[in-house]
Structure 1
Amino acid sequence: MDTSQNTALTRALTELPGPLPVRGVIHIVIPHTDRFTVVGNHLAQHAGLSTVAVGLAVRIQSLPQGTEIGIKALAARFPEGEKLIAAALRELEAHGYLRRAVTNLPNGRIVTRTVFCNQPTALLRPRVAVRPPAPPQPPPPVQDPAPEPPAPEAAAAPQAPALPDVQQEQAPEAPAPQEQEPEAPAPAPQDHAPFVARVPPPTAPRTPPPPLPQPRELTAELDRAATALLSDLRRHAHQLVLSENDIRQLAPAVAAWLERDTHPDTIRHTLTNDLPQPLRHPAKLLKHRLTVLLPPPLPGADDLAAPARPRIAVTPFQTCDGCERAFRAPTPGHCRDCRNAHSPAQAAAA
Structure 2
Amino acid sequence: MDTQQNTALTRALAEVPGPLPTSGVIHITIPHTDRFTVVGNHLAQHPHLSCTAVGIAVRIQSLPQGTEISIKALAARCKEGEKRIAAALRELEAHGYLQRFRHRLPGQKVITRTVFCNQPAALSHPRSQAPVAAPAQAPIPARSLTHVPDPDPDPAPVPPVPPTPPEPPGTSAPETPAPLPVPPPTPPPPPFVPLVPPPTAPKPPRPPLPQPSLLTPELDRAATALLSDLRRHAPQFTLSEDDIRHLAPAVAAWLERDAHPDAIRHTLTNDPPQPLRHPVKLLRHRLTALLPPPLPGAGDLVAPARPRILVTPFQTCDDCDRAFRSPTPGHCRDCRTEHPRIAA
Q: TM-score, normalised by structure 1?
A: 0.48
Higher relative contact order (CA 8 A, sep 6+): 2
Larger Rg: 1
